[in-house]
Structure 1
Amino acid sequence: MTMTKYRLALALSTAGAAMLAAPAHAQETAPQDSAETNGSAFGGAEIIVTAQKRAQNLQDVPVAISVVSGDQLERANVNSAEQLFQRVPTLTFRKGNTNKDSALSIRGVGTISFSSGVEPSVSTVIDGVVYARTGQQTSDFLDVERIEVLRGPQGSLFGKNASAGVINIVSREPGDTLGGYVDAAWYEGNEMRLRASVGGPLGEGLKASLTGFWSQYDGNARNVFNGRKVNGYEHWGVRGKLIAEPVDAVKVTLIADYSKNSDNGYADSIGTVFSSPFNNAVFIPSLAPLTLDGKNKDIDNDLDPYTKDKNSGVSAQIDVDLGAATLTSITAYRHWYNYQQRDGDFRSDAPKYVNTGTASGDVLSHDRGDLKFDQFTQELRIASSNPQFLEYVAGLYFYKTKEVDYFNRTVTSCTASTLPTVGGLTPCAPGSSTYVTNQGDADFTTRLTSYSAFGQLTANFTDAFRGIVGLRYTEDKVSYDFVRDSSSLTAFPGVNPDFAAEGSIKENGWSGNAGLQYDLSDDVMAYGMYTRGYKGPALNVFFNMQARDTGRIDPEKSNAYELGLKTRLFDRRVTLNIAAFYAKYDNYQANFLDLVAGQVVTRLTNAGTVSTRGIEVDFNAALTDDFSLGGGFNYTDAHINQFICPPGAAVTCADAINGKPLPFAPKYKGTVTMDWRLPLNIEGFHVDLNSSLVYQSRTQFDINQNPNAFQKGYAIWDAGLTVSTADDKYSLSLIVKNLTDKHFVIQRIPNGTSFMRQITPRDAERYAGVTARMNF
């Protein structure tokens, strides 16, 4: 059977029954150590979260939260943050050429920047430890119990780099009996995954687990210059967790992890190229045989795209039960190393002509760089344990980071040639032409130190009526030193002349929240919340930094309002949660496209005022003990209220930007899910069908509103079939991703008015796979 026929047969065999959908939007079982569950295994279970620094039922928390279980992620082949956006409607992921340039947005708000002096607006927290950079958590998910996505500013309990929301990832704890699992997966495109875990008691009051993974993928595109696959990867990692309870009142959790990623992408493939003398005479002919359209994934680069990441860390959490309260200390250190290289001219034959006239701009441009990032965090907090009139969480937080960057850009042009001119162009060739190479090297270090004190108080006025108030005070200091050495006294494409600077800024700010919560019945809760968000000051420390970039980027502050209704219906077999929100951000920190000697670069700036508003719906329904539906839908209007053009900008920014959508903010997005245990009555076996449908409306990628930098609306349909033994010891799953073979991109980047670059993800084509698992 040919591969095409195989894919079609598998798709048809699965599609017949999977007419609804099922990725993962809400957790179906509570974490092992948090609470008992009620309801069927296919939905209707109580969902326990730690979104407010304590274990609570999701339906009792006055915050809009999406929860995805680890089991759901595994069933849907969702393995990293860059795929998670397909499962949480209000979450979007901006994939850069390297992991360090990736970013997350919630409700249309996020920080996209190449600067080392700014933090993300969406905070990622793994096992209580804040990851200070989005690029730190782009590795494969490992032994996930659940992921909680807190939507909107989280000013009191999570702090300054949670001005748009929080992704709270909780890993599984070792069990009380010895056990584990081994699973292996293969998918079309030569994608393979291996995972294994073992854990259990080591002695009285001591248990541990060890989990490892390895994955590799050849890639979904090809470099026509050398025939190599691109957009692939090889990842591996290990995580160990040790839990000691020397006495009943004390719990110590030690975690250590290490992972290494080698990615040959994501590559900047060329999509649309616009007519111009240079493009028609030089650029388009150079890119042959690429098909230059919105579906092109291939590249023609003499320097292969490549990124390498190493992530490691250790943390120690100590919980002391004081009776009426729990005292918690979390101490953590993390290290991240990133290396990246890319072909900045996007061609394999540059420079092809003498760099003059129509061929002006015909240059070779190669980028290489690395960074070393270290962070230390310490959190100390106390939380009341028992239901009482005044329930509280209070704490202190210390946060220190250091990033050391090196970046090199090499640009070669042809300045003269003895070859005859043809059609107004003088070709260049070694031995007959004069080549001039210039380069810029930058070394820069950025440091951030932050102190904060926080607290949140809940007053239970009656059994049904509560008031919530929270406050956080933060002090920040950001400092840097920067040196760029250039071989030219004047700017050349993508490189400014020599520059050196150093400096620091300090700032303090308040954030917090206040709201009311009322139980209309045992199964219906309404709440209203005001939140003041704060994201600390920043500096525009990047490769092309110059004197105008040494000024401060003011803190980003927001005022957010949310009304919500959380319900459990039909004997708690159905949960239906609705939230309406509005948030306005002042001094919004954003990237702005600029030019250096004709080459597009980006600058960080206080872009002005933006706002986001909308309605979100989450639901789960256990229609029978063997059939469940779940999902969510959101309408989001995230737009620019008033854009402030940065001083000296080489790119025009007009008032026409005002009122336009923020990048990476689709107006409509939704998921529908299905899990069905088929009534086949096969003795000793279960057969489960799961399927998912994800829809996203038109998405603009450029804050400058380039009319070609968008992805039109699309829907992705996945399906899977699992056969397992009744004791759940062995299972075999067949999965088909993107059944309708729908192409889409997750990034389009305008290169001035010349052409569009684009990034095409793994899931932008149909592929099938099989997973085998053994639990012991």
Structure 2
Amino acid sequence: MLVHAEYGNTTAPGSGNVASLQAAVNFPVSANSALRLSTFFTRQDAFVKDLAQDQNLGNTSYGGRVKYLWEPTEAVRLTLAGDYQHSKGRGDGVFVHSYTAPGGLIATINAANGITASPTNNLLATDGLGYLVSKVYGGQLKAEVDVGGGFTLTNILAYRKFRQRMASPIDITTADIFNNNEGGYDYRQTTEEIRLSSPATSRFSFQLGLFYLNLRAKQYLLQGANLGLPVPPGLSFAGGFLDQTARTKSYAGFFEGQFEISDAVRLTAGGRYTHDVISLRDKITNPSAVIPLYPNIDFDVSTKQNNFSYRFGVDYDVAPDVLAYATYSRGYKGPTFDQLSGARVAPEIPKSIEVGLKSTLFDRRLRLNIALFDTKYDGFQTLAQAPGLSAGFVTLNAGQLKTRGVEVEYNALLAEGLKLSGGVTYNNTEYKNLKNVPCYYGQPTGTSGTNVCRPNGTTDVSGNQLANAPRWSMNSTVRYERPVSGDWVGFVQGDVYYRTSAYFTQTRDQQTRINGNAIIGLSFGAHTADDRLTITAFVRNLFDKRVPTYAIADPVATVYTGPAGVTDAALGGDYWHNFGPNSYRTIGVTLNYRM
């Protein structure tokens, strides 16, 4: 039996409480079968506060999992599993204003409610209630059969379903401007995989198999905007309804084998052939609206794609505790469609080289891994925001995305009871030939070159760093423990996560920039010598760094007209951001029990 319980309190506005409980138990059912049950419950109070509405902006989630293992014979092993999760509350999905156009409509309304947009703002005031409810569940049957000679035949049949319903006021104000925003998602997928594995102890080992995926993703979205104008009941001044269904059927066959040339050298080679059939049915209408919010769209498009991806690698035992390796791989991400235009987006093909060392040194007191990587994504698929009343996100192919760098991982025993672990990553990324990204509000204009807004409203971001990808990131944990009394061992631990600056957009819009930051945590506690019981007091984000999880431009700032008769877009636009669990200092306690 395993039990994990946690309670904490954050510096978020409101009560700021967070609590979770997880439990799992295993027990035999018969001489050749066993059952495992697990469950969880989490409650997170809101990360932001609505000054005008008494609504719950937190999140509550609960669920469970059951797994049944049956071995009817020595050669057959069956595992049946099912899980369910329910989530209610908008949680970290609530956006607030990080920037508003000076003198614009949104800034004026917010000021009347005592709200000032800023990089640390966590307040909003709205005239409508929002909600977010989701369910995800599924089941899986795994059959493993020993077919003789050490060969194993495995079949995995699985089904999953996801359903979500949501509503929120888009304008995030107390004015009746853009209030109606309701939607939902319904995803369901069935997968089937069968594979044959050879004995792992053979000089030549392999696995081969077939895979099938059937996915249907349905989305609907109803939006309405009154723009502060008087509108008859049951109507909106501008409105639109999106009804979209995407389907994917994917068939694949795969093989991977490893051959031991000698006791120190091993070669690995594998390949996968994929056939995808993808379709998108998109219908946009404008019911109950004085004017259409979107152009009427009705299309049904489909495409097929074949692909062969592969991987080659070599491992070399330089010494008993030092492994050198090199791999080259060609991957595949299937084609898709832009959801508003129906334009086909070509497949994304990553080609990657990695070389590295994995080592255990100094009588196993230091584990050190080093990897150098160089990846080129041909046809890199990316989402770009398109501001405007009828805008959303457009899906584009970059000519190429290049990413190269080095990753170091370490785990060291510095002294008796004193451990240091962590890693450092340098990742230099660069868009190549990505020329048709929509401009951001107030972007400098020009007719040629990169990062200037051209007359057609697009910009060339070639040479920019990948969105939300810091060049440097680092994490490190130091822990010291020693016996304190009887069977109890005390410990103290510190950890830090650091990342350099990055942008949430390809265009390097300054309003979507996240500065370099370091998040520090401390904890102390005690555990029994047999690790059955552990009690920990902790503080996360010690210095209460208010780091957003995402930042985005308000796409309809082009239609907000302020007191001076100028749109917010012309004054620099409006921007949103949101916060998550790591955006606030949290002080709490955890208990772990293992029977």
TM-score when normalising by structure 1: 0.68
Q: 1:592-626: per-residue Cα shift (whole Å, max 9, x none)?
A: 221343x6521112232111111000111233563
Q: Give the drift of 1:523.
A: 0.9
Match of 1:319 in 2: 144
Match of 2:450 in 1: none
Match of 2:23 in 1: 196
Match of 2:565 in 1: none
Tell me how far apart the structure 1 counterparts of residues 71 and 234 of structure 2 sit (CA, whole Å).
Answer: 72
Comparing 762-771 and 296-305, the one that deviates more: 296-305
Tell me how far apart the structure 2 counterparts of residues 485 and 214 of structure 1 sit (CA, whole Å).
Answer: 40
RMSD of aligned alpha carbons? 2.5
Judging changes above 3 Å, is the alpha-carbon distance between structure 1 residues 575 and 293 closer, same or farther for their aligned structure 2 residues?
A: same
Tell me how far apart the structure 2 counterparts of residues 279 and 446 of structure 1 sit (CA, whole Å).
Answer: 36
Tell me how far apart the structure 2 counterparts of residues 326 and 491 of structure 1 sit (CA, whole Å).
Answer: 63
Judging changes above 3 Å, is the alpha-carbon distance between structure 1 residues 647 and 301 closer, same or farther for their aligned structure 2 residues?
A: closer
- Whether 1:402 and 2:221 are equivalent positions in the alignment is no
1:348 to 162, 170, 174: 174
1:412 to 226, 237, 249: 226
Tell me how far apart the structure 1 counterparts of residues 83 and 235 of structure 2 sit (CA, whole Å).
Answer: 48
Tell me how far apart the structure 1 counterparts of residues 395 and 584 of structure 2 sit (CA, whole Å).
Answer: 34
SS of equivalent to 2:433: strand
Tell me how far apart the structure 1 counterparts of residues 38 and 297 of structure 2 sit (CA, whole Å).
Answer: 47
Judging changes above 3 Å, is the alpha-carbon distance between structure 1 residues 525 and 725 closer, same or farther for their aligned structure 2 residues?
A: closer
Q: 1:106-163: per-residue Cα shift (whole Å, max 9, x none)?
A: xxxxxxxxxxxxxxxxxxxxxxxxxxxxxxxxxxxxxxxxxxxxxxxxxxxxxxxxxx
Q: 1:222-245: per-residue Cα shift (whole Å, max 9, x none)?
A: 001114453x21000000111122
Tell me how far apart the structure 1 counterparts of residues 178 and 383 of structure 2 sit (CA, whole Å).
Answer: 25
Q: Give the drift of 1:194.
A: 1.7
The answer to whether the Cα contact below 8 Å between 1:594 and 1:651 also exists between their aligned partners in 2 is no
- Equivalent position amino acid for 1:375 in 2: Q
1:535 to 310, 328, 333: 333
- Equivalent position amino acid for 1:403 in 2: A
Match of 1:444 in 2: 244
The answer to whether the Cα contact below 8 Å between 1:311 and 1:336 also exists between their aligned partners in 2 is yes
Corresponding pairs, count: 557
Judging changes above 3 Å, is the alpha-carbon distance between structure 1 residues 459 and 278 closer, same or farther for their aligned structure 2 residues?
A: same
Q: Give the drift of 1:181.
A: 2.8
Judging changes above 3 Å, is the alpha-carbon distance between structure 1 residues 671 and 636 closer, same or farther for their aligned structure 2 residues?
A: same
The answer to whether the Cα contact below 8 Å between 1:559 and 1:583 also exists between their aligned partners in 2 is yes
Tell me how far apart the structure 1 counterparts of residues 589 and 229 of structure 2 sit (CA, whole Å).
Answer: 56
Residue ranges of structure 1 left out of the alignment (5+ in a row): 1-179, 351-362, 417-429
- Whether 1:745 and 2:586 are equivalent positions in the alignment is no
Q: Give the drift of 1:642.
A: 1.5
The answer to whether the Cα contact below 8 Å between 2:40 and 2:63 also exists between their aligned partners in 1 is yes
The answer to whether the Cα contact below 8 Å between 1:490 and 1:497 also exists between their aligned partners in 2 is no
Tell me how far apart the structure 1 counterparts of residues 412 and 538 of structure 2 sit (CA, whole Å).
Answer: 23
Residue ranges of structure 2 left out of the alignment (5+ in a row): 10-15, 440-453, 555-568
Match of 1:638 in 2: 429
- Equivalent position amino acid for 2:174 in 1: S
- Whether 1:552 and 2:344 are equivalent positions in the alignment is yes
Tell me how far apart the structure 2 counterparts of residues 489 and 448 of structure 1 sit (CA, whole Å).
Answer: 34
After the TM superposition, which residues 572-591 of structure 1 pair with which residues of structure 2 at under 5 Å, given as runs?
A: 572-591=364-383
- Whether 1:224 and 2:85 are equivalent positions in the alignment is no
Q: Give the drift of 1:488.
A: 7.8
Match of 1:619 in 2: 410
Tell me how far apart the structure 1 counterparts of residues 129 and 508 of structure 2 sit (CA, whole Å).
Answer: 30
- Equivalent position amino acid for 2:587 in 1: A
- Whether 1:185 and 2:6 are equivalent positions in the alignment is yes
- Whether 1:481 and 2:281 are equivalent positions in the alignment is yes
The answer to whether the Cα contact below 8 Å between 1:523 and 1:568 also exists between their aligned partners in 2 is yes
Q: Give the drift of 1:725.
A: 3.2
Tell me how far apart the structure 1 counterparts of residues 192 and 139 of structure 2 sit (CA, whole Å).
Answer: 12
Q: Give the drift of 1:219.
A: 1.4
- Equivalent position amino acid for 1:476 in 2: D
- Whether 1:207 and 2:20 are equivalent positions in the alignment is no
Structure 1 residue runs of 4 or more that deviate by more than 6 Å after TM superposition? 488-491, 646-651
The answer to whether the Cα contact below 8 Å between 2:239 and 2:291 also exists between their aligned partners in 1 is no
- Whether 1:373 and 2:164 are equivalent positions in the alignment is no
- Equivalent position amino acid for 1:315 in 2: Q
The answer to whether the Cα contact below 8 Å between 2:151 and 2:198 also exists between their aligned partners in 1 is yes
- Equivalent position amino acid for 1:767 in 2: T
Structure number with the higher strand fraction is 2
Match of 1:262 in 2: 88
Tell me how far apart the structure 1 counterparts of residues 187 and 464 of structure 2 sit (CA, whole Å).
Answer: 35
Match of 1:496 in 2: 294
- Equivalent position amino acid for 1:685 in 2: W
- Whether 1:237 and 2:63 are equivalent positions in the alignment is yes
Tell me how far apart the structure 1 counterparts of residues 145 and 456 of structure 2 sit (CA, whole Å).
Answer: 57
Tell me how far apart the structure 2 counterparts of residues 317 and 727 of structure 1 sit (CA, whole Å).
Answer: 34
Q: Give the drift of 1:747.
A: 1.0
Tell me how far apart the structure 2 counterparts of residues 550 and 435 of structure 1 sit (CA, whole Å).
Answer: 29
Match of 1:676 in 2: 480
1:604 to 366, 385, 395: 395
Judging changes above 3 Å, is the alpha-carbon distance between structure 1 residues 610 and 618 closer, same or farther for their aligned structure 2 residues?
A: same
Tell me how far apart the structure 2 counterparts of residues 336 and 761 of structure 1 sit (CA, whole Å).
Answer: 22
Tell me how far apart the structure 1 counterparts of residues 181 and 323 of structure 2 sit (CA, whole Å).
Answer: 54
Tell me how far apart the structure 2 counterparts of residues 679 and 729 of structure 1 sit (CA, whole Å).
Answer: 15
TM-score when normalising by structure 2: 0.88
- Whether 1:666 and 2:464 are equivalent positions in the alignment is no
Judging changes above 3 Å, is the alpha-carbon distance between structure 1 residues 203 and 436 closer, same or farther for their aligned structure 2 residues?
A: closer
Q: Give the drift of 1:193.
A: 1.2
- Whether 1:765 and 2:569 are equivalent positions in the alignment is no
Tell me how far apart the structure 2 counterparts of residues 459 and 187 of structure 1 sit (CA, whole Å).
Answer: 52
Match of 1:41 in 2: none
Tell me how far apart the structure 1 counterparts of residues 234 and 182 of structure 2 sit (CA, whole Å).
Answer: 25
Judging changes above 3 Å, is the alpha-carbon distance between structure 1 residues 551 and 677 closer, same or farther for their aligned structure 2 residues?
A: same
SS of equivalent to 1:763: helix
Tell me how far apart the structure 2 counterparts of residues 222 and 337 of structure 1 sit (CA, whole Å).
Answer: 27
Judging changes above 3 Å, is the alpha-carbon distance between structure 1 residues 190 and 489 closer, same or farther for their aligned structure 2 residues?
A: closer
Match of 2:444 in 1: none
SS of equivalent to 1:744: coil
The answer to whether the Cα contact below 8 Å between 2:385 and 2:392 also exists between their aligned partners in 1 is yes
- Whether 1:272 and 2:99 are equivalent positions in the alignment is yes
Tell me how far apart the structure 2 counterparts of residues 241 and 689 of structure 1 sit (CA, whole Å).
Answer: 36
Tell me how far apart the structure 1 counterparts of residues 143 and 511 of structure 2 sit (CA, whole Å).
Answer: 52
Match of 1:387 in 2: 201
Judging changes above 3 Å, is the alpha-carbon distance between structure 1 residues 414 and 629 closer, same or farther for their aligned structure 2 residues?
A: closer
The answer to whether the Cα contact below 8 Å between 2:487 and 2:529 also exists between their aligned partners in 1 is yes
Tell me how far apart the structure 2 counterparts of residues 647 and 743 of structure 1 sit (CA, whole Å).
Answer: 29
Tell me how far apart the structure 1 counterparts of residues 23 and 438 of structure 2 sit (CA, whole Å).
Answer: 54
SS of equivalent to 2:476: strand
- Equivalent position amino acid for 1:318 in 2: A
Tell me how far apart the structure 1 counterparts of residues 37 and 274 of structure 2 sit (CA, whole Å).
Answer: 37
After the TM superposition, which residues 100-111 of structure 1 pair with which residues of structure 2 at under 5 Å, given as runs?
A: none
